[in-house]
Amino acid sequence: MFSIFSMAEAAASKDAAPFYLRWEKGGIAPERKLCYDQNGSNKNHTETDRRNRTMKKTASVLLALCLLLSFTAAACAEAPVKNAVLELCSAEGIYTDSVGNTEQYSYHVPQIYANSLAADEINAEIAERFGKVAESQFENMEGGYSLWSRNVEWHAYWSGTWLFLLITADSEGSFTDYAAYGYDFGTDARITNEMILQQKGITEEEYLENLKEKVGLMFEDMYGKYPEKDREAFGCDELLEKTLGWLDAEQPMFLDGMGEVETIVKIASVAGAEWYYHLATPFAYG
């Protein structure tokens, strides 16, 4: 399990030496880490030494969970709140499993830096959903097993004092998990879909009408070029009906860097998973 350190503890450490969180079975513990490369390995060791240590279950050192007090390049340049986003997990490198498969990985799991119940709630949800993805990969590395997820990343978008986090995590079978979270630093409250639509002057009826039209166009863009016999064989009409039936005003919603309303939607698939996540911008045209 991941242990989430309080924001006060994080703040107390940010002017000291670099502070990290180290993943361990049963939780994560603070440690000071010096002179390590992106794989978490001491730079004075040889490549053979690093490979041997990996096979001897030292991935917990190789893959440190770092608490970073800075924005990544994914964040907006002019953020109105300094150090608004921490990273519960920040690990990048190259891993070779026990059968010789070599893969590149990158895990960045954000946390909102605010002292409120709303922020704590959001942070706990992020750690549960995306922190555990990274944690399970570290466990696989310890055992020499293959990775089923190689990338967890986030993007931050601002609208006044509103912060939106879009987080994605890839998985097997070309599936990518999406989630969006909104936090208002002005009121220390969670941002709801109703608040977003009200700020944009959009009614729920207008939103749903435009969303269904947009998703319908996206579906046709994906499968509209199929010959009619293939559309019938795949049941495309039924899949479109199913896709539109999933849409409601509770779909995860956020404002992007252009201030446009974006929604995370499920679109039914003709192969692979039953559906895949996509981003739909119901009021953007062209």
pLDDT at res. 79: 66
Instruction: Calculate helix-pair angle for 236-245, 204-223, nearest 10 degrees.
Output: 150
Rounded to 5 degrees, φ, ψ at 53 are -65, -35
How distant is the alpha carbon of residue 95 from its chain centre?
A: 21
Cα torsion through 194, 197, 202, 203, rounded to 10: -10
Alpha carbon separation from 60 to 22, 26, 50, 56, 108 (Å, rounded): 7, 12, 13, 11, 16
Alpha carbon separation from 125 to 4, 37, 109, 129, 237 (Å, rounded): 11, 30, 11, 6, 36
CA angle (123, 77, 64) in 5-degree steps: 45
At 122 the three-state DSSP class reads: helix
Question: Domains along the chain?
Answer: 7-191 (3.30.565.40), 195-280 (no CATH)
Sign of CA dihedral 17, 85, 115, 159: positive
Query: Other C-beta atoms within 10 Å of 21: how many?
Result: 23
pLDDT at res. 78: 56
Per-residue pLDDT of 180-192, as tens digits, reads: 999 999 999 999 9
Instruction: State both tokens at 277.
Output: 């996540």
Determine contact, residues 62/41, Cβ cutoff 8 Å. Answer: yes
Distance CA 134, CA 132 (A): 5
Instruction: State both tokens at 241.
Output: 């009906």
Q: For residue 260, what are the contacts with CB-CB under 8 A and spacing of at least 6?
A: 281, 283, 284
Closest of 270, 178, 242, 256 to residue 282, by C-alpha: 256
Q: For residue 116, what are the contacts with CB-CB under 8 A and spacing of at least 6?
A: 188, 189
Burial 212-221 (b: 16+ CB within 10 A, else e): bebbeebbee
User: Mean pLDDT, 10 residues at a time, over the chain (286 residues)?
Assistant: 38 34 32 28 37 41 37 46 91 95 96 97 98 96 95 97 97 91 98 97 97 96 91 94 96 96 97 94 79
Determine contact, residues 198/192, Cβ cutoff 8 Å. Answer: no
pLDDT at res. 225: 87
